[in-house]
Chains A and B, each alone.
Chain A
Amino acid sequence: DAGITQSPRHKVTETGTPVTLRCHQTENHRYMYWYRQDPGHGLRLIHYSYGVKDTDKGEVSDGYSVSRSKTEDFLLTLESATSSQTSVYFCAITREPYNSPLHFGNGTRLTVT
């Protein structure tokens, strides 16, 4: 299995509080992605990164920000959590998206009350 770890695995937080989820990889892969998974929607891309300090928005980026200060870490921040951000969040990495698959972490289940 690819070395990819998400933390925390579970989190319950209150509306309006900031939350940061961490994705850590040991594969030295350039590309990293944050997805959220909700019933009936499959996986939707939040943000992605194609290198250190190089990030861009996905299809559901509103209310989220990311940072990548080093190759191995990709942080997802909810500046002010809302109930609509209750979801399972997955981080994924790939060496090269046009010829290689994604490797996923085991997810973070976030509940915003």
Chain B
Amino acid sequence: SQQGEEDPQALSIQEGENATMNCSYKTSINNLQWYRQNSGRGLVHLILIRSNEREKHSGRLRVTLDTSKKSSSLLITASRAADTASYFCATVSRTDSWGKFQFGAGTQVVVTP
């Protein structure tokens, strides 16, 4: 079973608009991470938020974490065509001794000029 579940599965927006996607998870986590994947490539790490953090920013990215609801959101502000990609959340469980990362199915984002 997947630990992280992204929502929506797909998102289509115009350049300049904001894109928001959500991730829900099931167990207590040590941290939650967001990754981007361009077509035909490996995943690239965007941002890591620890379980004791509520919000984190990196450039045009804003991530929130609500551990009481077991959910996180990724906001991309002022989107660009280059932001077209799939976005995945990944969690590392607090109860996992060996640090297994578990991924959701991802949100596919298309930004049109």
A binding-site residues for B, Cβ under 8 Å = 31, 33, 35, 40-45, 48, 50, 56, 58-59, 90, 92, 94, 96-107
A105, closest chain B residue (CB): B42
Assembly CA distance A58 to B99 (angstroms): 11
Q: Which of B57-65, B66-74, B103-111 contacts A (4 or more CB under 8 A)?
A: B103-111
Pairs across A and B, CB under 8 Å, 27 listed: A31-B99, A41-B2, A42-B103, A42-B104, A42-B106, A48-B98, A58-B100, A97-B92, A97-B100, A98-B30, A98-B92, A98-B99, A99-B48, A100-B48, A101-B33, A101-B45, A101-B48, A102-B33, A102-B35, A102-B43, A102-B90, A102-B101, A103-B45, A104-B42, A105-B42, A106-B41, A106-B42
Min CB distance, B47 to chain A, in Å?
Answer: 9
Place the interface of chain B in its size category: 20 to 34
Assembly CA distance A50 to B101 (angstroms): 13
Complex contact B101–A97 (CB within 8 A): yes
Min CB distance, A71 to chain B, in Å?
Answer: 16
Min CB distance, A4 to chain B, in Å?
Answer: 8
A41 — which chain B residues lie within 8 A by C-beta? 2, 105
Complex contact B100–A45 (CB within 8 A): yes
> Does B31 have its Cβ within 8 Å of any Cβ on chain A?
yes
Min CB distance, B72 to chain A, in Å?
Answer: 15
A54, closest chain B residue (CB): B98
Complex contact B42–A107 (CB within 8 A): yes
